[in-house]
Amino acid sequence: MRHPRIAKSPPLVAVAHGSRDPRAAATVGNLLAVVRDRAVAQGLPGLCVRTAFLDHATPSLPQVLGSLAPEHDECVVVPLLLTAAYHTEKDIPRQIAKTRSAYPGLDVVLAGPLGPHRLLLRALDRRLAQAWRGPRPETSVVLAAAGSASPSANATNAALATELQETGGWRRVVTGYASAASPSAAEAVTALRAEGGPVVVATYLLAPGYFAGTVRDTSLAAGASAVSDPLGAAPEVADVIIRGYLAGTRVTSNAPADVTSIPPTG
Protein backbone atom coordinates (compact mmCIF):
# COMPACT_ATOMS: atom_id res chain seq x y z
CA MET A 1 0.00 0.00 0.00
CA ARG A 2 1.46 3.36 -1.03
CA HIS A 3 1.60 6.12 1.53
CA PRO A 4 0.23 9.60 0.80
CA ARG A 5 2.92 11.67 -0.85
CA ILE A 6 4.40 14.49 1.17
CA ALA A 7 3.95 18.01 -0.21
CA LYS A 8 7.04 19.76 1.16
CA SER A 9 10.63 20.52 0.22
CA PRO A 10 12.09 17.50 -1.56
CA PRO A 11 14.67 15.52 0.39
CA LEU A 12 18.37 16.24 0.00
CA VAL A 13 20.35 13.05 -0.58
CA ALA A 14 24.03 13.67 0.12
CA VAL A 15 26.13 10.94 -1.47
CA ALA A 16 29.69 10.54 -0.20
CA HIS A 17 32.48 8.42 -1.58
CA GLY A 18 32.63 6.15 1.47
CA SER A 19 35.60 4.71 3.36
CA ARG A 20 36.53 1.73 5.50
CA ASP A 21 37.72 4.26 8.09
CA PRO A 22 34.78 4.84 10.46
CA ARG A 23 35.92 8.44 11.00
CA ALA A 24 34.88 9.23 7.43
CA ALA A 25 31.22 8.32 7.93
CA ALA A 26 31.23 10.09 11.31
CA THR A 27 32.59 13.24 9.67
CA VAL A 28 29.91 13.10 6.96
CA GLY A 29 27.29 12.71 9.70
CA ASN A 30 28.65 15.76 11.53
CA LEU A 31 28.71 17.76 8.30
CA LEU A 32 25.09 16.95 7.50
CA ALA A 33 24.09 17.93 11.04
CA VAL A 34 25.56 21.35 10.25
CA VAL A 35 23.61 21.34 6.96
CA ARG A 36 20.35 20.76 8.86
CA ASP A 37 21.11 23.56 11.30
CA ARG A 38 22.07 26.05 8.62
CA ALA A 39 19.11 25.05 6.46
CA VAL A 40 16.80 26.33 9.20
CA ALA A 41 18.50 29.73 9.12
CA GLN A 42 18.24 29.78 5.34
CA GLY A 43 14.51 29.26 5.23
CA LEU A 44 14.39 25.47 4.95
CA PRO A 45 13.10 24.24 8.32
CA GLY A 46 12.58 20.52 8.58
CA LEU A 47 14.61 19.74 5.47
CA CYS A 48 14.93 15.98 5.10
CA VAL A 49 18.63 15.18 4.69
CA ARG A 50 19.65 11.60 3.92
CA THR A 51 23.11 10.10 3.56
CA ALA A 52 24.28 7.58 0.95
CA PHE A 53 27.68 6.14 0.07
CA LEU A 54 29.24 4.97 -3.17
CA ASP A 55 31.50 2.33 -1.62
CA HIS A 56 32.79 0.81 1.61
CA ALA A 57 29.77 1.94 3.67
CA THR A 58 26.00 1.72 3.74
CA PRO A 59 23.37 2.66 2.77
CA SER A 60 24.00 2.81 -0.96
CA LEU A 61 22.49 5.47 -3.19
CA PRO A 62 19.92 3.07 -4.74
CA GLN A 63 18.88 1.94 -1.25
CA VAL A 64 18.25 5.51 -0.10
CA LEU A 65 16.42 6.51 -3.27
CA GLY A 66 14.26 3.39 -3.08
CA SER A 67 13.32 4.19 0.51
CA LEU A 68 12.19 7.68 -0.52
CA ALA A 69 10.13 6.61 -3.53
CA PRO A 70 6.94 5.56 -1.69
CA GLU A 71 6.40 9.00 -0.12
CA HIS A 72 8.16 11.55 -2.33
CA ASP A 73 7.79 12.75 -5.92
CA GLU A 74 11.20 14.39 -6.05
CA CYS A 75 14.60 14.43 -4.39
CA VAL A 76 17.90 16.18 -5.04
CA VAL A 77 21.15 14.22 -5.01
CA VAL A 78 24.17 16.31 -4.00
CA PRO A 79 27.53 14.57 -4.47
CA LEU A 80 29.89 15.24 -1.58
CA LEU A 81 32.76 15.29 -4.05
CA LEU A 82 35.13 18.18 -4.61
CA THR A 83 35.68 17.91 -8.37
CA ALA A 84 33.87 16.63 -11.43
CA ALA A 85 35.34 13.27 -12.39
CA TYR A 86 34.33 9.62 -12.81
CA HIS A 87 31.88 9.41 -9.91
CA THR A 88 29.97 12.58 -10.83
CA GLU A 89 30.05 11.99 -14.59
CA LYS A 90 29.54 8.22 -14.85
CA ASP A 91 28.95 6.34 -11.60
CA ILE A 92 26.26 8.43 -9.91
CA PRO A 93 24.28 9.14 -13.13
CA ARG A 94 24.26 5.40 -13.88
CA GLN A 95 22.89 4.58 -10.44
CA ILE A 96 20.25 7.29 -10.75
CA ALA A 97 19.19 5.99 -14.18
CA LYS A 98 18.59 2.53 -12.70
CA THR A 99 16.54 4.08 -9.90
CA ARG A 100 14.42 6.03 -12.36
CA SER A 101 13.63 2.79 -14.18
CA ALA A 102 12.68 1.04 -10.94
CA TYR A 103 10.74 3.99 -9.48
CA PRO A 104 9.33 6.08 -12.36
CA GLY A 105 7.27 8.16 -9.93
CA LEU A 106 10.38 9.58 -8.27
CA ASP A 107 12.04 12.52 -10.02
CA VAL A 108 15.73 12.39 -9.08
CA VAL A 109 17.61 15.64 -9.72
CA LEU A 110 21.41 15.45 -9.72
CA ALA A 111 23.30 18.52 -8.53
CA GLY A 112 26.91 19.20 -9.45
CA PRO A 113 29.95 18.43 -7.30
CA LEU A 114 30.81 20.75 -4.43
CA GLY A 115 33.83 22.29 -6.09
CA PRO A 116 35.26 24.47 -7.24
CA HIS A 117 33.68 27.11 -5.02
CA ARG A 118 35.05 30.17 -3.25
CA LEU A 119 33.58 29.00 0.06
CA LEU A 120 35.59 25.78 -0.15
CA LEU A 121 38.70 27.87 -0.76
CA ARG A 122 37.86 29.90 2.33
CA ALA A 123 37.42 26.75 4.42
CA LEU A 124 40.70 25.36 3.07
CA ASP A 125 42.56 28.54 3.98
CA ARG A 126 41.06 28.51 7.46
CA ARG A 127 42.16 24.91 8.03
CA LEU A 128 45.67 25.97 6.97
CA ALA A 129 45.60 28.87 9.41
CA GLN A 130 44.68 26.45 12.19
CA ALA A 131 47.63 24.20 11.33
CA TRP A 132 50.34 26.78 10.63
CA ARG A 133 51.04 30.13 12.28
CA GLY A 134 54.26 30.88 10.39
CA PRO A 135 54.80 33.81 8.00
CA ARG A 136 52.85 33.26 4.80
CA PRO A 137 55.14 35.21 2.43
CA GLU A 138 57.96 32.79 3.29
CA THR A 139 55.84 29.61 3.27
CA SER A 140 54.96 27.42 0.30
CA VAL A 141 51.86 25.23 0.16
CA VAL A 142 51.03 21.90 -1.42
CA LEU A 143 47.33 21.68 -2.19
CA ALA A 144 46.83 17.94 -1.70
CA ALA A 145 43.80 16.49 -3.51
CA ALA A 146 42.66 12.93 -4.06
CA GLY A 147 43.79 12.90 -7.67
CA SER A 148 42.00 11.68 -10.76
CA ALA A 149 42.61 10.16 -14.17
CA SER A 150 40.57 13.06 -15.54
CA PRO A 151 42.83 15.87 -16.83
CA SER A 152 40.02 18.40 -16.37
CA ALA A 153 39.64 17.48 -12.69
CA ASN A 154 43.35 17.93 -12.10
CA ALA A 155 43.30 21.20 -14.05
CA THR A 156 40.53 22.41 -11.72
CA ASN A 157 42.74 21.67 -8.74
CA ALA A 158 45.65 23.50 -10.35
CA ALA A 159 43.45 26.56 -10.87
CA LEU A 160 42.39 26.36 -7.23
CA ALA A 161 46.05 26.29 -6.18
CA THR A 162 46.68 29.45 -8.20
CA GLU A 163 43.73 31.17 -6.58
CA LEU A 164 44.87 30.12 -3.10
CA GLN A 165 48.29 31.61 -3.79
CA GLU A 166 46.80 34.87 -5.04
CA THR A 167 44.31 35.32 -2.21
CA GLY A 168 46.16 33.72 0.71
CA GLY A 169 49.47 35.53 0.56
CA TRP A 170 51.54 32.33 0.35
CA ARG A 171 54.98 32.22 -1.30
CA ARG A 172 53.97 29.47 -3.72
CA VAL A 173 51.07 27.01 -3.99
CA VAL A 174 51.29 23.87 -6.11
CA THR A 175 49.19 20.74 -6.41
CA GLY A 176 50.03 17.26 -5.14
CA TYR A 177 47.92 14.13 -5.14
CA ALA A 178 47.14 11.11 -3.01
CA SER A 179 46.51 8.82 -5.97
CA ALA A 180 46.00 8.53 -9.75
CA ALA A 181 47.95 11.67 -10.68
CA SER A 182 51.36 13.18 -10.19
CA PRO A 183 53.21 14.61 -8.46
CA SER A 184 52.32 12.97 -5.18
CA ALA A 185 51.90 15.25 -2.20
CA ALA A 186 55.26 14.06 -0.83
CA GLU A 187 57.01 14.71 -4.16
CA ALA A 188 55.56 18.22 -4.25
CA VAL A 189 56.77 18.84 -0.69
CA THR A 190 60.28 17.69 -1.62
CA ALA A 191 60.39 19.96 -4.68
CA LEU A 192 59.24 23.02 -2.74
CA ARG A 193 61.65 22.38 0.12
CA ALA A 194 64.50 22.44 -2.40
CA GLU A 195 63.52 26.05 -3.17
CA GLY A 196 63.89 27.03 0.49
CA GLY A 197 61.52 28.06 3.26
CA PRO A 198 58.91 26.07 5.14
CA VAL A 199 56.37 23.94 3.28
CA VAL A 200 52.89 23.14 4.55
CA VAL A 201 50.18 20.92 3.11
CA ALA A 202 46.54 21.94 2.59
CA THR A 203 44.44 18.78 2.70
CA TYR A 204 41.79 19.30 0.04
CA LEU A 205 39.75 16.28 1.09
CA LEU A 206 36.39 16.13 2.78
CA ALA A 207 37.02 13.61 5.55
CA PRO A 208 39.63 11.43 7.25
CA GLY A 209 40.40 8.13 5.59
CA TYR A 210 43.02 6.34 3.55
CA PHE A 211 43.83 9.26 1.26
CA ALA A 212 44.02 11.81 4.06
CA GLY A 213 46.22 9.48 6.10
CA THR A 214 48.50 8.88 3.13
CA VAL A 215 48.84 12.61 2.47
CA ARG A 216 49.64 13.36 6.12
CA ASP A 217 52.13 10.53 6.69
CA THR A 218 54.06 10.88 3.44
CA SER A 219 54.12 14.68 3.53
CA LEU A 220 55.47 14.81 7.08
CA ALA A 221 58.05 12.18 6.17
CA ALA A 222 59.11 14.36 3.24
CA GLY A 223 59.67 17.30 5.58
CA ALA A 224 56.42 19.25 5.58
CA SER A 225 56.21 21.63 8.55
CA ALA A 226 52.46 21.10 8.97
CA VAL A 227 49.52 19.31 7.35
CA SER A 228 46.02 20.73 7.73
CA ASP A 229 42.99 18.64 8.63
CA PRO A 230 40.43 17.72 5.96
CA LEU A 231 37.62 20.21 5.39
CA GLY A 232 35.23 18.18 7.55
CA ALA A 233 32.09 19.69 9.06
CA ALA A 234 32.98 23.26 8.11
CA PRO A 235 30.08 25.72 7.81
CA GLU A 236 31.39 26.79 4.42
CA VAL A 237 31.05 23.22 3.11
CA ALA A 238 27.54 22.99 4.55
CA ASP A 239 26.54 26.17 2.73
CA VAL A 240 27.89 24.86 -0.57
CA ILE A 241 25.78 21.71 -0.09
CA ILE A 242 22.66 23.80 0.53
CA ARG A 243 23.38 25.95 -2.53
CA GLY A 244 23.74 22.83 -4.64
CA TYR A 245 20.42 21.58 -3.33
CA LEU A 246 18.66 24.87 -4.06
CA ALA A 247 20.09 24.95 -7.58
CA GLY A 248 18.58 21.53 -8.24
CA THR A 249 15.06 22.20 -7.04
CA ARG A 250 12.27 24.73 -7.33
CA VAL A 251 12.48 25.44 -3.60
CA THR A 252 13.78 28.91 -2.79
CA SER A 253 15.41 30.23 0.36
CA ASN A 254 13.75 33.15 2.13
CA ALA A 255 16.71 33.87 4.38
CA PRO A 256 18.25 37.37 4.44
CA ALA A 257 21.13 37.83 2.01
CA ASP A 258 23.74 37.93 4.78
CA VAL A 259 22.71 34.64 6.41
CA THR A 260 25.03 32.59 4.18
CA SER A 261 28.03 34.85 4.68
CA ILE A 262 31.05 33.31 6.36
CA PRO A 263 33.31 35.27 8.73
CA PRO A 264 36.76 36.04 7.32
CA THR A 265 39.41 33.39 7.94
CA GLY A 266 42.13 33.86 10.46
pLDDT in tens, 211-262: 999 999 999 999 999 999 999 999 999 999 999 999 988 655 543 333 232 2
Q: Is the pLDDT of residue 6 over 50?
A: no
Q: Write out the residue range of the structural domain in which residue 165 sits.
A: 118-227
Element holding 142 (H helix, E strand):
strand 140-145
Residues 170 and 197 in one domain: yes
Least confident range from 8-22, 66-80, 84-98, 123-137: namely 84-98
Tally of domains in the chain: 2
**CATH number (domain holding residue 238):** 3.40.50.1400
104 and 123 both lie in a single domain: no
Are residue 45 and residue 79 in the same domain, yes or no? yes
Show Cβ contacts of residue 110 under 8 Å, excluding neighbours closer than 6 positions.
76, 77, 79, 92, 93, 96, 248
Query: Do 110 and 122 share a domain, yes or no?
Result: no
Neighbours of 22 (CB within 10 A): 11
Calculate mean pLDDT across residues 19-23.
95
In this structure, the answer to whether residues 55 and 187 fall within a common structural domain is: no
212 and 126 both lie in a single domain: yes
Q: Are residues 217 and 253 in the same domain?
A: no
The predicted pLDDT at position 251 comes to 56
Confidence band of 8 (pLDDT split at 50, 70, 90): confident
Mean pLDDT of the chain: 89
Instruction: Please report whether residue 265 resides in a domain.
Output: no
Residue 72 has pLDDT above 70, yes or no: yes
Structural domain includes residue 4:
no
39 within some domain? yes
Do 252 and 195 reside in the same domain of the chain?
no
Same domain, 98 and 165: no
How far apart are alpha carbons 248 and 101 in whole angstroms? 20
Distance between CA 7 and CA 121 in Å, rounded? 36
The reply to whether 31 and 78 lie within a common domain is yes
Confidence class for position 19, pLDDT limits 50, 70, 90: very high
Residue 77 lies in a domain: yes
User: Does residue 266 fall inside a structural domain?
Assistant: no
Q: What is the pLDDT of residue 88?
A: 80
Same domain, 16 and 107: yes
Please give the average per-residue pLDDT across 61-80, as a whole number.
Answer: 96
In a domain, 139, yes or no: yes
pLDDT single digits (tens) 112-140: 999 999 999 999 999 999 999 999 999 99
pLDDT for residue 86: 74
How far is the C-alpha of 55 from the C-alpha of 190, rounded, in Å? 33
Give yes or no: residues 131 and 212 share one domain.
yes
* 31 found inside a domain: yes
Question: Residue 163: how many CA atoms within 13 Å on its side-chain side?
Answer: 15
Q: How far is residue 56's CA from residue 73's CA, in Å, rounded to a whole number?
A: 29
Residue 49 sits at the vertex; the CA angle it makes with 90 and 119, to the nearest 5 degrees, is 70
- The pLDDT confidence band at residue 20, using thresholds 50, 70 and 90, is very high
